[in-house]
Structure 1
Amino acid sequence: MSHGTTRAASVADRARSLTGEISGAFGDLGTFLPYVIAVLVAGVFAPTPLFLGFAAGYLLVALVYRLPIAVQPMKALGAMIVAGALSAEGAAWAGAIIGATLLILAATPRLDRAARSIPQSVVTGLQAGLGLVLGVVALNMMRSDWTLALPAAAILGLSLVWRRGPWALLVVFGALLLVPASQPPDLAVAGSADAALVPAVLSGIMSQLPLTLLNAVVVAAALARSLFPQDARRVSERRLAATSGFINLALVPLGAMPMCHGAGGIAAHHRFGARGSVAPLVMALFCVAAAAAGPGIVKVLAAIPLPVVGALLAHAAADLLLTRRMFDARPDCRPVIGATMIATYFLGALFGLVAGLAAESLRAHIVRKRHSASSGAGR
């Protein structure tokens, strides 16, 4: 091969890599957009500090991990905010307290040891349960207009052929350019603080903290290690807890939305081609541009059709469900994965963890009894 051919191949590889990074940067819009649009349209948060918060989070990710680690809205708190159960003031208190708690936990090596003690079958079940949850949400979004959802899903499916192609980017911008924009609702005036602020904050913390510890620390670390094994040393449970804690304690009181490193977001970034620090930097720039646009950005984001957002989310869900560990698991571990997955889907991550550990204890007990019986028969 000539020097010119080698150089051309190198340029082509770099172009494909850059395309994948840019596409992967927008791969998590399926989980990012629904919560962000909802709280902005409701007027609970102002667009500029909200997007600057996400920009700072993605910039921190690019500097610390140099990997496409997601920065997502906290789902339990986000649901409470959208439902009107938590005001901006309550969200600020809840986010700051959760951030301080995560920083305290990150300061002790016990967090890593406790997380590593969770059996792999339980972690796989937790990931699969989260995938089911995201999948159902995605289908509910997609079924509102299958004529938009199915073509979007088909284009995204081309990632099976060329994983680092610009598929997410094409779908998002194609939807904005080709689909007639519906009139988004006017921004509401931000409401007053909760009448019962303390109970609302405590309820938010109790519902969000276990989910963050499991999905955004334990499962996120396990998923990142499986997707980026060569960079596994950079992604630990303690480091994920520390960065999540820092961005919440420092930024949420200033008007940012409570944030975490969701496992589904990591899967989505990777699914559409992100492999390094370029993707989080692109997201940081996108969020800075959105912050500069102010209230006008709400109309742009709300113009992305819900079925298209659902198609993005469905691909992220598939990555969590259809993992290699799911197919390579030993037969006696599959009931543990199934029990964890079902409990996580119906009852949440905390109950999924409890059910998985119980199932794993039962599996280990049965294996020990069989081993003892076979040893006794062999004497």
Structure 2
Amino acid sequence: MMRIGKIKFDRNELSGSFGDIGTDLPLLIGIILASGIDTASALIMFGLMQVLTAVKYSIPMSVQPLKAFATIVIAQKLTGDVIFAGGLVIGIIMFLLTISGLIEKLAVLVPKPVVRGIQFGLGIQLSMLAIKNYIGLGSLEAYVLSGVAFIVGLLLLGNRKYPPAIFIILLGVVYAIFRTDVQSGKIISGIKLHWPQLHYHFKMADMLTGFFLLALPQIPLSLGNSILATRQIVRDLFPEKKLTASKISMTYSLMNIINPFFCGIPTCHGSGGMAGHYIFGARTAGSIVIYGSFFLITGLFFSDNFQIIVKLFPLPVLGVILFFESLTLISLIKDVATQKNDLFTALAVGLICAFLPFGYGIGLMYGLVLHYCRLPRMQQVIEDIK
């Protein structure tokens, strides 16, 4: 084991570093292919944001692509100019919400049952994504591979001596080497140094498109999951850390103000990512440094062969990792299960978030109305905000 300050590097941190790859890797690939943005820039900046976040927080504070943002980009094949402009707009909006104090007021206003509902809804979405798009690919091999990986995960989950993600990923790599056309020689021969490209010209038309098409759908999800739910899961897993919503929101906003100028994709923090790193063994930011270094090194030296490298991570294996991440999020609802009203609020919010268009915004508002429908509660929250 090696330790640098509060950050550890050991087999558990290595295992935890794979905890969010099931979410991130497909989104990164999808954005790069759909938009045609520079692969090296996207990977370098994504890795750099991970490492800088690790240094800042010293806990496994995840950095992920913006999910709603990525979905729209992939579906509509938006250009890099719109992506970078939209990311900058989101960064500016979140920065203004932070310095104005509105983020902290929102954090006071939103109760735990609503936050648990947001996490529950995200867990449902991730589990459905894992089963439908990764595990349920229709071939017998995919089912067998995912089944073996799932059993390995169940047997080793919580094992500090033999952390599970290492063996799940190793299973996928062995499968890829023997069953796909991974050309390791081509990866080595294709080593070439790349630097992120600069982007400093933002057209007003792209900014407006980014605001209406990308920022408006993304911000409710960011407020609910990236800020409030992440703050809550930090309290759950690392109660000694006194992180405020404003601090999390500030690093979120700064990432998205910096990224567009270097052709990086918009990123966020996320409760699901932290849950994934934690359940597979991470207890410090070592997992984030390892994870970020993978993307940073790949972008700097191997970006020309990125599509070959990702074949080492078969979708059924990524799906199993994502499924465990989703189960961790879903299980967090247990701490509001003893109160009937709170449980109903959490379940209602979760189902809205999971299944309705713009569900996170609607679910957040519905949960607030449901929770504060009694006058004494509303009077109390007004006093708290004051």
Q: Where on the TM-score scale, by shorter chain, does this alignment land: which range?
A: 0.7 to 0.9
Residue 367 of structure 1, CA deviation: 10
For 2:76 and 2:229, locate their aligned partners in 1 and report how far apart those are by CA, in whole Å. 29
8 Å contact 1:182–1:303 — kept in the other structure? Answer: no
Does structure 1 residue 63 correspond to structure 2 residue 60? no
Question: In structure 2, do the counterparts of structure 1 residues 165 and 200 end up closer, same or farther at CA, with 3 Å as the change threshold?
Answer: farther
Residue 242 of structure 1, CA deviation: 0.8
* 1:360 equivalent in structure 2: 371
For 1:200 and 1:85, locate their aligned partners in 2 and report how far apart those are by CA, in whole Å. 13
* 2:213 equivalent in structure 1: 203
Residue 365 of structure 1, CA deviation: 6.2
Of 341, 345, 353, the match for 1:332: 341
Residue 303 of structure 1, CA deviation: 4.1
For 1:182 and 1:262, locate their aligned partners in 2 and report how far apart those are by CA, in whole Å. 34
Residue 258 of structure 1, CA deviation: 0.8
* 2:252 equivalent in structure 1: 244
For 2:254 and 2:30, locate their aligned partners in 1 and report how far apart those are by CA, in whole Å. 25
Question: In structure 2, do the counterparts of structure 1 residues 148 and 110 end up closer, same or farther at CA, with 3 Å as the change threshold?
Answer: same
Does structure 1 residue 93 correspond to structure 2 residue 52? no
* 1:350 equivalent in structure 2: 361
* 1:216 equivalent in structure 2: 226
For 1:38 and 1:46, locate their aligned partners in 2 and report how far apart those are by CA, in whole Å. 13
Does structure 1 residue 137 correspond to structure 2 residue 129? yes
Q: Which runs of 5+ in 1 are unaligned?
A: 1-10, 185-192, 369-379
Of 299, 307, 314, the match for 2:316: 307
Amino acid at match of 1:343: I
Residue 200 of structure 1, CA deviation: 3.6
1:256 aligned counterpart, secondary structure: coil
8 Å contact 2:95–2:249 — kept in the other structure? Answer: yes
Of 283, 291, 298, the match for 2:307: 298
1:83 aligned counterpart, secondary structure: helix
Amino acid at match of 2:136: R
Of 258, 261, 265, the match for 2:269: 261
8 Å contact 2:156–2:162 — kept in the other structure? Answer: yes
2:240 aligned counterpart, secondary structure: helix
Q: TM-score, structure 1 length as denominator?
A: 0.84
Does structure 1 residue 155 correspond to structure 2 residue 152? yes
2:58 aligned counterpart, secondary structure: coil
* 1:170 equivalent in structure 2: 167
Residue 116 of structure 1, CA deviation: 2.4
* 1:80 equivalent in structure 2: 72
8 Å contact 2:34–2:73 — kept in the other structure? Answer: no
Residue 169 of structure 1, CA deviation: 2.4
For 1:171 and 1:287, locate their aligned partners in 2 and report how far apart those are by CA, in whole Å. 19
For 1:124 and 1:321, locate their aligned partners in 2 and report how far apart those are by CA, in whole Å. 9
* 1:8 equivalent in structure 2: none
8 Å contact 2:157–2:279 — kept in the other structure? Answer: no
Amino acid at match of 1:224: V
Which has the larger Rg? 1
8 Å contact 1:149–1:308 — kept in the other structure? Answer: yes
Q: Which runs of 5+ in 2 are unaligned?
A: 184-201, 379-386
Once the two structures are overlaid, the 10-residue window that deviates more, 202-211 or 325-334, is 325-334
For 1:300 and 1:181, locate their aligned partners in 2 and report how far apart those are by CA, in whole Å. 12
Q: Deviations over 1:279-328 (max 9, x none)?
A: 11112221221112112122111442211111111001000001264464
Residue 50 of structure 1, CA deviation: 0.9
For 1:322 and 1:85, locate their aligned partners in 2 and report how far apart those are by CA, in whole Å. 35
Does structure 1 residue 44 correspond to structure 2 residue 36? yes
Identical residues among aligned pairs (%): 25
Residue 337 of structure 1, CA deviation: 1.2
Question: In structure 2, do the counterparts of structure 1 residues 110 and 39 end up closer, same or farther at CA, with 3 Å as the change threshold?
Answer: closer
Amino acid at match of 1:88: G
For 1:367 and 1:108, locate their aligned partners in 2 and report how far apart those are by CA, in whole Å. 25
Once the two structures are overlaid, the 10-residue window that deviates more, 105-114 or 24-33, is 105-114
Once the two structures are overlaid, the 10-residue window that deviates more, 143-152 or 33-42, is 33-42
Question: In structure 2, do the counterparts of structure 1 residues 327 and 264 end up closer, same or farther at CA, with 3 Å as the change threshold?
Answer: same
Of 264, 272, 284, the match for 2:280: 272
Q: TM-score, structure 2 length as denominator?
A: 0.82
8 Å contact 1:220–1:262 — kept in the other structure? Answer: yes
Once the two structures are overlaid, the 10-residue window that deviates more, 55-64 or 16-25, is 16-25
Amino acid at match of 2:237: L
Does structure 1 residue 35 correspond to structure 2 residue 19? no
For 2:343 and 2:236, locate their aligned partners in 1 and report how far apart those are by CA, in whole Å. 19
Question: In structure 2, do the counterparts of structure 1 residues 164 and 213 end up closer, same or farther at CA, with 3 Å as the change threshold?
Answer: farther
Does structure 1 residue 122 correspond to structure 2 residue 114? yes
8 Å contact 2:86–2:206 — kept in the other structure? Answer: no
8 Å contact 1:164–1:274 — kept in the other structure? Answer: no
1:27 aligned counterpart, secondary structure: coil
